[in-house]
């Protein structure tokens, strides 16, 4: 990478695209017009693909002015390069983009075909996948119709998705005169002058894939049918039993404190392989099933410890719960690497003053015993009287404060640069409040936590969040299971709904597990809570796949029943435009 030390910050941010295009290793890229980069339509869907999307876009469009440390700046710089690449894939199939790439093609900026019969014909960059982070860029020769690896190591690490799988075809459709005549003499692979037998490549591929196929079939408990040299079917059962015994022995050793490090990692990967993760707009992933810690403050350390032992890696807490110290103690005692965990906590309503936001997070981090959290949420859009009292009251009523949630959120945005939280989000917002927030702030919330379950599906609102790149986390995923929800006492429990029970029988699952699976199937994360070890383990098994017909049955259960509405108690009108809002 070029050395920027001789340049000022102003120089660096004012000419980012010029620097990027002129840097060694970026010769394959063309310069994207500024009006294309600033048209939001052309950026549709990229918020969920790029970490710190807004900062990255600001850097690419030369309006970046965040004061941050070197580590944060490097992260944003990396995101800016990724964003530019993704937009580049869209731009080069436009009229202007094709014209620019054609000029580079004519000058052989992408290289020349190494085959003698192609007579140094120019190459074109292409991807073998339109999804990022899967395949590196390749070079295509239209004359011999073959693809090659880039000659220089500077280019071999470029993501193929930055050029896409169809660019070279579109170029020749738009400019048919550029289609070259095909070589009359085709290349024939030879070894020491002898032609390579045609099926040889297939045989090599089959041998290479054989072990992988056996492993997959074994996992599905399907006989492979593979034969050994004597024609006998290969029996994998003994090998599988040995592997199981080895891993079980490792697990016991870990529980007894006898082994850590590499062996832990091996078992951890095996245990976590089937856990569903959802992607956030920061680029990070969040485990689909988390562990909630609301209520039962005195029991939470043991409960969280049990959850971590069972396999949970997503822990949800909040300042107002009073469970942050318990969560921190359980996390520390578990010995699980911090990088394996996803920790969420929340800003409480009495700390909405912008100058109180960072100190509030500092206090949470201290109680958690952590250097950072993965997600920091604004618990409610309502502000209480600033101070140390969680529920400041006068004459039995909550004292509110005239503090805009916009100002509070802007203060939360600044936390990203400190490294104290990896992402920020919201909870319990209405659609109007969320639309206002998106209009007035820079960072799109990574997540929105709200009441959601088969009896309150809020389909349109969830789709609106999804369209903005905002992940949904469901609290109260069991509906009125909690005894505090008086409004649901006379209608039966959601997890005992006949349809939910019926679906559960098909999969040998209980109603709670089916309710969780419904949320996971819709791309949400769910945070059930319990202090009973057997239920803690059972809830984690709510991460299973529902068939389409069963998901459709559950989708038909929406009764628009909201059980958690703090409007009366908090002196604020929540959910004013959402399903389930009781009309006064």
| DSSP secondary structure of 63-86 | -------HHHHHHHHHHHHHHHHH
CA 527 to CA 292: how far, in whole Å?
5
Residue 51 has a pLDDT of: 84
Residues 282 and 172 in one domain: no
Closest-CA residue to 370 (of 315, 413, 294): 315
357 and 498 together in one domain: yes
Same domain, 411 and 554: yes
5 in any annotated domain: no
Neighbour-count burial of 166, counting CB atoms closer than 10 A to its CB (0-12 exposed, 13-18 middle, 19+ buried): middle
Q: What mean pLDDT do residues 318-332 have?
A: 95
pLDDT > 60? residue 243: no
Ordered DSSP codes for 112-139: B---GGGTS-B-EEE-S-SSTTS-B-EE
Q: Which of 118-132, 233-247, 275-289, 529-543 has the lowest mean pLDDT?
A: 233-247
**Residue 294: band (very low, low, confident or very high) from pLDDT cuts 50, 70, 90:** confident
Q: Is the pLDDT of residue 134 over 90?
A: no
- 1: in domain: no
> How far apart, in Å, do the first and last CA atoms of the chain sit?
63
Domain end point (choices 178, 208, 233): 178
State the helix-helix crossing angle for 300-310 and 324-334, rounded to 10 degrees. Answer: 40
> Looking at residue 43, which CATH number applies to its domain?
2.20.25.20
Is 53 catalytic? The answer is: no
The whole-number pLDDT of residue 68 equals 81
Question: What number is the average pLDDT over the span 71-82?
Answer: 90
Residue 440 within a domain = yes
CB atoms within 10 A of CB 507: 16
Residue ending a domain, choose from 146, 178, 210:
178
Q: Is 378 exposed, middle or buried (0-12, 13-18, 19+ CB in 10 A)?
A: buried
How confident is the model at residue 64, as a pLDDT? 85
Q: Please identify, among 139, 162, 178, the residue that sits at the C-terminal boundary of a domain.
A: 178
130, 123 in Cβ contact below 8 A? no
Q: Domain containing 369 — which CATH number? A: 3.20.20.100
Q: Based on the fold, state whether residues 307 and 454 are members of the same structural domain.
A: yes
Q: What pLDDT, on a 0 to 100 scale, did the predictor assign at position 232?
A: 56
User: ∠ CA 344-348-351 to the nearest 5 degrees?
Assistant: 125
Cβ atoms 530, 292 nearer than 8 A: no
The predicted pLDDT at position 259 comes to 46
Q: Average the pLDDT over each of 208-217, 304-313, 327-336 and give the range with the smallest value.
A: 208-217
Rounded CA separation 365/420 (Å): 8
Residue 2 has pLDDT above 60, yes or no: no
- Domain contains 451: yes
381 and 501 housed in the same domain: yes
What's the number of CA atoms in the CB half-sphere (13 Å) around residue 464? 15
The residue among 84 and 212 whose pLDDT is bigger is 84
Quick one: tokens of 375? 């997600």
**pLDDT at position 224:** 56
Confidence of residue 13 (pLDDT cuts 50, 70, 90): very low
Contacts of residue 91, Cβ cutoff 8 Å, sequence gap at least 6: 30, 32, 33, 36, 42, 97
What one-character DSSP code corresponds to residue 301?
H
Predicted pLDDT at 47: 82
Secondary structure element (H or E) that encloses residue 398, with its range: strand 397-398
Q: Cα 15 to the chain's mean position, in Å?
A: 31
What is the C-alpha to C-alpha distance for residues 462 and 431, in angstroms, rounded to an integer? Answer: 10
Give the per-residue pLDDT at 184: 60
Q: Give dist(CA 272, CA 352) in Å, integer.
A: 37
Q: Verify that 408 and 556 share a domain, yes or no.
A: yes
Higher pLDDT, 10 or 518: 518
Residue 112: predicted pLDDT: 94
Instruction: Kindly report the average pLDDT of the chain as a whole number.
Output: 85
Residue linked to tokens 């469901």:
474
For residue 286, give both structure tokens. 């969040």
- DSSP 3-state assignment of 365? helix
pLDDT tens digits for range 422-465: 999 999 999 999 999 999 998 999 999 999 999 999 999 999 99
Say what angle helices 237-255 and 262-272 make with each other, to 10 degrees: 120
Q: Average the pLDDT over 463-469 and give the result.
A: 93
Q: What percent of the chain has pLDDT over 70?
A: 82
In a domain, 165, yes or no: yes
Domain housing 31:
16-178
User: Average pLDDT, stretch 527-552?
Assistant: 93
Question: 147 and 295: one domain?
Answer: no
| 330 bridge partner residues | none
Number of domains in the chain: 2
Q: Is the pLDDT of residue 273 over 50?
A: no
pLDDT digits (tens, 9 = 90+) for 156-201: 889 999 999 999 989 998 998 898 887 666 666 677 777 766 676 6
**568: three-class secondary structure by DSSP:** helix
Query: What average pLDDT does this structure show over 1-26?
Result: 63
Surface-to-core class of residue 569, CB atoms within 10 Å of its CB (0-12 exposed, 13-18 middle, 19+ buried)? exposed
- Matching residue, tokens 């239209």: 142
- The residue ranges of DSSP E strands in 404-521, in sequence order, are 424-427, 447-451, 471-475
Are residues 154 and 44 part of one domain?
A: yes
In a domain, 258, yes or no: no
> What integer pLDDT is reported at residue 409 of this predicted model?
97
pLDDT at residue 25 tops 50: yes
List 52, 321, 376, 572, catalytic entry: 321
Please name the residue that has the structure tokens 């339509």: 41
| Domain assignment present for 93 | yes
pLDDT band at residue 260 under the 50/70/90 scheme = very low
For residue 319, is pLDDT > 70? Answer: yes
Q: How many Cβ atoms are within 10 Å of 248's Cβ, its own excluded?
A: 11
Question: d(Cα 306, Cα 403) in Å, to the nearest integer?
Answer: 40
Q: Is residue 291 part of a domain?
A: yes
525 backbone dihedrals φ, ψ, rounded to 5°: -100, 150
Q: What integer is the mean pLDDT of 482-504? A: 78
Given a cut of 90, is residue 245 above it in pLDDT? Answer: no
* pLDDT for 261: 43
pLDDT at 581 over 90: no
Beta strands 124-126 and 393-394 are unpaired
Task: Give the separation between CA 11 and CA 48, rounded to whole angstroms.
Answer: 29
């Amino acid at each position: 990478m070029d050395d920027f030390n001789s340049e000022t910050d102003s120089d660096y941010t004012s000419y980012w695209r010029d620097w990027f295009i002129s840097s060694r290793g970026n010769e394959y890229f063309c310069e994207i017009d500024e009006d294309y980069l600033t048209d939001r339509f052309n950026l549709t869907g990229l918020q969920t693909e790029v970490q710190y999307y807004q900062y990255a876009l600001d850097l690419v469009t030369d309006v970046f002015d965040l004061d941050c440390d070197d580590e944060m700046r490097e992260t944003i710089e990396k995101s800016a390069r990724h964003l530019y690449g993704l937009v580049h894939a869209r731009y080069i199939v436009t009229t202007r983009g094709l014209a620019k790439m054609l000029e580079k093609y004519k000058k052989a900026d992408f290289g020349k075909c190494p085959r003698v019969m192609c007579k140094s014909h120019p190459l074109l960059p292409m991807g073998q996948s339109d999804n990022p982070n899967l395949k590196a860029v390749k070079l295509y020769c239209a004359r011999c119709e073959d693809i090659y690896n880039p000659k220089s190591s500077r280019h071999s690490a470029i993501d193929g998705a930055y050029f896409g799988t169809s660019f070279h075809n579109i170029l020749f459709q738009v400019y048919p005169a550029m289609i070259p005549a095909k070589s009359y003499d085709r290349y024939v692979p030879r070894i020491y002058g002898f032609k390579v037998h045609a099926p040889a490549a297939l045989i090599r591929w089959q041998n290479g894939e054989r072990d992988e196929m056996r492993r997959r079939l074994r996992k599905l408990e399907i006989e492979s049918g593979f034969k050994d040299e004597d024609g006998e079917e290969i029996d994998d059962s003994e090998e599988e039993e040995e592997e199981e015994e080895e891993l079980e022995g490792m697990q016991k050793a870990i529980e007894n404190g006898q082994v850590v490090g590499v062996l832990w990692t091996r078992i951890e990967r095996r245990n976590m392989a089937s856990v569903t993760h959802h992607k956030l707009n920061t680029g990070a992933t969040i485990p689909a099933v988390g562990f909630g810690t609301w209520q039962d403050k005195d029991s939470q350390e043991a409960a969280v410890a049990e959850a971590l032992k069972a396999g949970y890696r997503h822990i949800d807490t909040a300042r107002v719960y009073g469970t942050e110290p318990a969560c921190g103690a359980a996390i520390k005692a578990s010995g699980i690497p911090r990088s394996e965990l996803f920790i969420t906590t929340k800003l409480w309503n009495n700390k909405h003053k912008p100058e109180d936001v960072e100190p509030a997070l500092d206090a949470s981090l201290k109680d958690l015993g952590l250097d950072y959290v993965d997600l920091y949420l604004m618990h409610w859009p309502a502000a209480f009287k600033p101070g140390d009292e969680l529920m400041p009251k006068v004459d039995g009523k909550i004292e509110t404060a005239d503090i805009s949630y916009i100002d509070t959120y802007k203060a939360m945005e600044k936390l990203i640069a400190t490294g104290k939280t990896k992402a920020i989000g919201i909870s319990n917002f209405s659609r109007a409040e969320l639309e206002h927030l998106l209009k007035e702030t820079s960072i799109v919330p990574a997540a929105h936590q709200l009441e959601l379950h088969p009896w309150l599906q809020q389909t349109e609102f969830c789709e609106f969040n999804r369209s903005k790149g905002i992940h949904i986390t469901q609290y109260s995923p069991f509906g009125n299971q909690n005894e505090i929800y008086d409004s649901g006492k006379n209608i039966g429990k959601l997890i005992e709904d006949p349809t939910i029970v019926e679906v559960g029988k098909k999969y040998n699952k209980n109603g709670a597990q089916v309710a969780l699976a419904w949320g996971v199937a819709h791309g949400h994360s769910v945070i059930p809570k319990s202090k009973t070890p057997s239920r803690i383990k059972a809830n984690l098994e709510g991460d299973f796949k529902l068939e389409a017909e069963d998901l459709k049955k559950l989708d038909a259960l929406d009764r628009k029943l909201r059980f958690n509405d703090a409007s009366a108690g908090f002196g604020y009108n929540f959910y004013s435009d959402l399903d389930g809002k009781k009309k006064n």
